[in-house]
Structures are given as C-alpha cells and as structure tokens.
Structure 1
Amino acid sequence: MTSKTMRRRLHHGDVDGKKNDHFVAAADLDDLKEPLLGTSDDYKPNHLQVQKLEDILYDKKRKQRLHWTFLFSNIISEWAQWLARVVLGSGSFLARVLTLPSTIGSGPTNKFLPPSLTPLQESRLRSLQKRLKVPFDGSCLEHQDALRQLWRSAYPNRELPGLKSEAWKDMGWQGNDPSTDFRGGGFISLENLIFFAHTYPEAFQNLLNKKEGNRAEWEYPFAVAGINISFMLVQMLDIQSGLPTSLSGVRFLQFLSNDESAFDELYCVAFKLMDAHWLARRASYMEFNEVIKSTRTQLERELAIEDATSVKDLPAYNLLR
C-alpha cells in the first residue's frame, strides 16, 4: 500500500474497518483534553519505552542552571521595580525600562505581572491580536485566494483544483472543502501555513510529504495538524486579548519586539518540533494529542531560556535547517 493510499484512507476515517466520519475540530481542543483524530477504547501503544526528544536537547546541568537563573532574575526584578517607583516614579520612561516582569506565586504554573510594553511591542501585539480575531470565511475572495496560494506552494506542478475537490484531501484536509476545517484556527492558521511554505519550503515539503523518519501506518493529516498547532500556540502564549501573564507569553513579547513575524516563525518551529516528537515516540493516529502536549512542554522550556532573544535562538529552530 502506497503512502498516498494510506493517507486517503486516513482522510475518510476508516481505521481497522471502523468508520470515524469526523475529526475533532481545533475549537473543541480546549486545554488539549481530547485527541485531535478521534478516540478508541481498544487502542494500546505497542511500545513500552518512549524516547523523549527533550532528553536529547536538555541535560540536568542546563535545567539546574535555568532554575537558579529564574531565582536570581526574580530578585533583580523586585529590586528594579522598587528602585523605579522610589527614585524615578512609575510613569517615567526610565521606570518602564527598569521594570521587569515578576512572578506571582511559585511552581511551574507561575503567573507574571503584565509587563510594561514599548510602543513597538504594543503596536505589534495589537496587530497580532487583530489577526487572531479574523475567522476563516469561505465566501471571502481574499480567503479563497489564500487557499489557492497555499495549493500552489504545496503542489507547484499540479493543476489547481476547485475550492471543493477531493484533491484537497491529499494535503490533509478532512473533506473536499477545506473551509470546514478552520472553525478553531481562524484565518491566521492559513496564514501560518502559507508563511511556512514560503519561508522554509524544504522543511514544509518534507512535512507535507512525510519524507523523513520511520513513519507510522496511520499518519496525522498535515493541514488539520497545522490548524491545531496555531490553536495550541495561541493558548500557550496567552495572547488572545490584553497582556499575557504566562512566562511563555511574557518572553514572546520580547521576541515580538525583535521580529514582527515572531508568531509565524514560532509556528514553523512548533510544526517541525511536533513532527520530531512524533517520530521519536513512534507515534501513530490516536497519539496526536499526546504529541501536541509534549511539543508544547518543550516549547515552554525553550522560551524560558534567558539568553534567547528571538525564535532563531531557540534550540528547536535548528530542526528547520
């Protein structure tokens, strides 16, 4: 059986002779509690030991150093805020420069006081939040053109199909109409895919066509996975509205000040990292949700690296090269 044939069977949801006529939409994956691709009480992993990719990229020494770095940073943060309030006044420009985000509470679920934004950070954050509010509209000519642009980038040597065609299933859409898959991701998830295709074409093609690694018999559908990665990043960064209060969100604001395309760049890293976790776990169809969770965990760790000032400083960015 060819890989293309196997992907077609997956799109139709025929797994071991059992019909699964729909997948779980990204909007239903609040807190990633349910698998992307359905459920099965009979499914059992075939392997007992899973190689975690983070074990390759992180060692104990680095984790310990990061822990002490956070403690030291919090002390400096409190001192800086006190100095800014007492000496300079909270409204001055220098006060905003010296005031760093500080944690509330302790442990892995820390919330951070919203940081003071530079005008550039505020402008770029508002622009990103505006993008997040745009739903995909299949009747909008701009959105239709974006879908066609994605097809041309994915399959430059194939004829462009109609907006409703069985050919779209080859890209990993659930049915013959891609517009029905955007309920949770919105238009930005399509923009993310297009950005990936244009900025890192080789990595994009490798993921689209599943060229790397020992693949499972039942693979994740590429396009639907991409939508869920966009959704996961929005949750992780806490950027839907207002100022983020998570560590990842606060760190992301620093990246955004250095690169207007930081969200799209992080999306490309997240997609490639997800696939690397997929291969390392030897995952298949029903394990996609667990792979997304482990991908998010590693991204949160990498965003916490103090000397990283852009997405390209993250260790996982090397996977795109």
Structure 2
Amino acid sequence: MSSSTLRRRLYHGDVDGRRNEQMDTFGSDGLDEPLLGSYGDRSKVYDSREEEDWDIRKKEEQHWTFLFSTLIAQWAQWLANILTESSSVFGRLLPFSTQSQIYLSPLQEERLSILKERLQVPFDGSRVEHQDALRQLWRLAFPDTAIPPLKSESWKDMGWQGTDPSTDFRGGGYVSLENLIYFAQNYPDSFQKLLHKQEGVRAEWEYPFAVAGVNISFMLIQMLDLQSSMPSSQAGIRFLELLAEDENAFDKLYCVAFRLMDAQWLLKRASYMEFNEVLKAVRTQLERELALEDVTHVRDLPSYTMLYR
C-alpha cells in the first residue's frame, strides 16, 4: 500500500455506506498528467537575441501605427473643413453634389434679363420720360382733373407723402411707377377702389396709396430674389416658370399683391403704423400660393380673383 494511493468509493445502495466497499487503486504517476496537454520542452535554453528581435518588431509596428493614425486624423480634419465651407466652395470641390441647377430656356433668359434691366433704373425727376410717366399716372387716377405741376400739394391726393413725388421712389425705383401705371391700365376698377378706399371700414389713419405701391414693388423684388444673379428662393424659382408663360408676370403679380394688401388691411383693421406687419402677411400669403402645384400662370393664384371683385 505504500506504493499506491487508496480511495474509497461509496455506493449509495449501501445503507450504512460501508458494505460492498471497493478500493480503487490509482498509480501515483497519474496525478502528474497535465490537464490541458503538454507545456512543451521546459528544458529549452533561453535566448536573449529573440527578445531583442521581438522588441525591434514591436517598435516598428508602433511607429507605423502612429503614422497611420496621424494620417487618418489629418484626413478627417481635411474632410471636416470641406463640409464646413460655403455651399459654393463645396459645389466646386464636389461637382456631383446634390445642389439643384436652374436651367432657363432662351425665352426665360431674355425676359428675366429685360426685367432685371427695368429694376436697375432709378426714378429721375429730371428725365422727361419719367416726368411724362408721372403725368400719365395722374390722368389714369384722376381723368377728370387737370394735371398739376410736378411739385404740388395735389399729389398728396394720390398718396404721395410730399408735394414732390420723386422723393418717394427711393426703394422701388422707376419700375414701381411702371407697376402703378400697369395696375391702372389693366385693372382700372380695382385701382380706383383702392385709390379712393371705397371698400370696407377704413381706418382714421389710412395707408398712402402711391407710397404703398412703391413698397409693394420693393417687397416683390426681395421675395422673388430678383436682385441676385439667379433667383434661389422657392418663390423666385417658381416665378421663373410664370415668366416663361407671360412676359408681364411681374406686373400682374404686383396687382395681385396690391389687392391682397388692401384685403389684409381691412381684415386686420390696421392703421398706418401697422403697414409693415400687413405687408409681411401679404408676402407670406403670396409665397404659399406660389408653392401650389397647379399654378402655372399668375391668373392661377387664388388671390388673383380679387382683382375682379
């Protein structure tokens, strides 16, 4: 028994745990077997050169990892700089970007060019054609009244702020006078109703008719983005489609805007100091109507019908 280890195995069938005992004998050498296989030859001699080679390889790997990480970081920063650039620069670097391009037909280009030329003309009271245009507007507004001198208190009856109308064209330019003339010639009933404030309960301090017209021209120019090289606003892009169908689209839209302004004025029961607020509401309404899918002409705008009421 000295050369082996005895282990007692109990069979649970024995009541007292002692009957039918079996003595299993395992050699002492069996306990020395490794649980996970051989560890290899432990008698191998240690070689310091292998550790030096391993250190060199590790340093090289760390060096290349650092260079690669630096390159990735620089590339990411470069890409971030591109993404934060202005849209024009981004478009040049990425020519296949999702920026939509506006393509005009030759007819659209011609009509847009003519309109832009009109917008560049300031009102000049010393020019004979501008003086004649003012007189023409007076005849359309007051056909039964003699034309007053170009500087007269009578011009206030049309809604100019002073005795000299030329001082009120600063924002709208000569095109605003053309708009008023077009309104009077093509929609005379609406023109006269607004000029003489014939509809609704009016405020004690009403908006001046002619000056309001100049402001409406200026508002439309801004809304349609006509001072830029190419309109980029949604309303401006849609207007280009209307211009393709009608060379007078801007003048007609002006008439709609004027009629809509008076309707908003009455709806809000506004007075003189609230004119800018009313004009903002007009712009918002026009932008909504221009966004409608079935609008291909100015006459398709819902507010256009007010010109004939």
TM-score range, shorter chain: 0.5 to 0.7
Q: Which residue of 1 aligns with 2:212?
A: 225
Q: Which residue of 1 aligns with 2:25?
A: none
| Counterpart check, 1:190 vs 2:177 | yes
User: 1:242 Cα shift?
Assistant: 1.3
**Which residue, 282, 285, 293 being the options, matches 1:295?**
282
When residues 103 and 137 of structure 1 are mapped into structure 2, their CA distance, relative to the original with a 3 A threshold, is: farther
Letter in 2 for 1:203: S
Identity of aligned residues (%): 69
Letter in 1 for 2:105: T
**Which residue, 305, 309, 312 being the options, matches 2:292?**
305
**Greater Cα radius of gyration, structure 1 or 2:** 2
Which string of whole-angstrom CA distances, capped at 9 and with x for unpartnered residues, describes residues 249-271 of structure 1?
A: 00000000000000000000000
User: 1:203 Cα shift?
Assistant: 0.2
> What CA distance in whole angstroms lies between the structure 1 residues aligned with 2:101 and 2:176?
26
Q: Which residue of 2 aligns with 1:138?
A: 125
Q: Which residue of 1 aligns with 2:138?
A: 151
Letter in 1 for 2:165: P
* Structural RMSD (CA): 1.4
| Counterpart check, 1:265 vs 2:252 | yes
Which string of whole-angstrom CA distances, capped at 9 and with x for unpartnered residues, describes residues 113-159 of structure 1?
A: 34100000000000000000000000000000000000000000001
Instruction: After TM superposition, list the pairs within 5 Å mapping 1:161-310 onto structure 2.
Output: 161-310=148-297
Contact 1:129-1:241 within 8 A present in 2 as well:
no
> What CA distance in whole angstroms lies between the structure 1 residues aligned with 2:255 and 2:276?
18
TM-score after normalising by structure 1? 0.65
> What CA distance in whole angstroms lies between the structure 2 residues aligned with 1:215 and 1:183?
27
Q: Which residue of 2 aligns with 1:72?
A: none
Q: Which residue of 2 aligns with 1:317?
A: 304
> What CA distance in whole angstroms lies between the structure 2 residues aligned with 1:258 and 1:183?
31
Which has the bigger relative contact order, CA under 8 A and spacing at least 6? 1
Aligned residues: 213
Structure 1 unmatched ranges of 5 or more: 1-89, 91-101, 105-112
> What CA distance in whole angstroms lies between the structure 1 residues aligned with 2:249 and 2:141?
22
Contact 1:114-1:250 within 8 A present in 2 as well:
no
Letter in 1 for 2:170: R
> What CA distance in whole angstroms lies between the structure 2 residues aligned with 1:231 and 1:141?
24
Which string of whole-angstrom CA distances, capped at 9 and with x for unpartnered residues, describes residues 155-198 of structure 1?
A: 00001100000000000001000000011110000000000000
Structure 2 unmatched ranges of 5 or more: 1-95
- Structure 1 runs of 4+ off > 4 angstroms? none
> What CA distance in whole angstroms lies between the structure 1 residues aligned with 2:139 and 2:124?
20
TM-score after normalising by structure 2? 0.68
> What CA distance in whole angstroms lies between the structure 2 residues aligned with 1:285 and 1:181?
16
